[in-house]
Amino acid sequence: MRWPLDYGWGSHRWRWNDHHDVLLEAQPWTTRPDEVRNAVHAWLASKTADTRLVDGVPRAIVYEGGIWMYAEDRRGGQPALSVYLHSHGQDAFDAIHWYANELVDALLAVDPAVKVKWIKHPHHRHVHRGSAD
């Protein structure tokens, strides 16, 4: 359920360095999608709001502690939504690990049976790219 810290994610296939964006996607699977969506949005609202270009389009994001995040709702199916956690620099993986655990805590508070699928995106990608990538 919790994302296991994985420093090796960046060193094998994708030749990560501390200038590359690290992107972890969380997909909560739940029988209580509205409550999970509300919990995620409340959790994100507790961070500092900003706007950032993502794929060349302005997007509302939040940031805190070396990470920036946003969510995309998925209506009418599973997963309930996707939460994108971005970071870069020497502490990128530690920051993502910390906030991934915070996210799981927020999800479990409203649905103890929630499951999370974690997707480790390539560091060189053509989607979900921030303006600094």
DSSP letters spanning 71-92: EEE-TTSSSSEEEEEEE-STTH
Q: The domain that contains 45 carries what CATH number?
A: 3.30.310
Total structural domains in the chain? 1
Strand spans (E) along 21-124 = 22-29, 48-54, 57-64, 67-73, 81-87, 115-120
Q: Is residue 12 exposed (0-12), middle (13-18) or buried (19+ Cβ within 10 Å)?
A: exposed
- Asked, for residue 129, whether it belongs to a domain, the answer is no
105 falls within a domain = yes
Q: Tell me the average pLDDT across 21-30.
A: 92
Domain containing 43 equals 31-121
Tens digit of each residue's pLDDT (9 = 90 or more) over 55-95:
788 999 999 999 999 999 987 778 989 999 999 888 988 99
Closest CA to 22 of 118, 105, 103, 133: 133
Is position 130 within any domain? no
Has residue 99 been placed in a domain? yes
**Contact (Cβ atoms closer than 8 angstroms) between residue 73 and residue 37:** yes
- Name the residue with tokens 């939504």: 81
The answer to pTM > 0.85 is yes
5 domain residue, yes or no: no
Which residues are CB-neighbours of 12 under 8 A, at least 6 positions away? Answer: none
Is the residue at 55 inside a domain?
yes
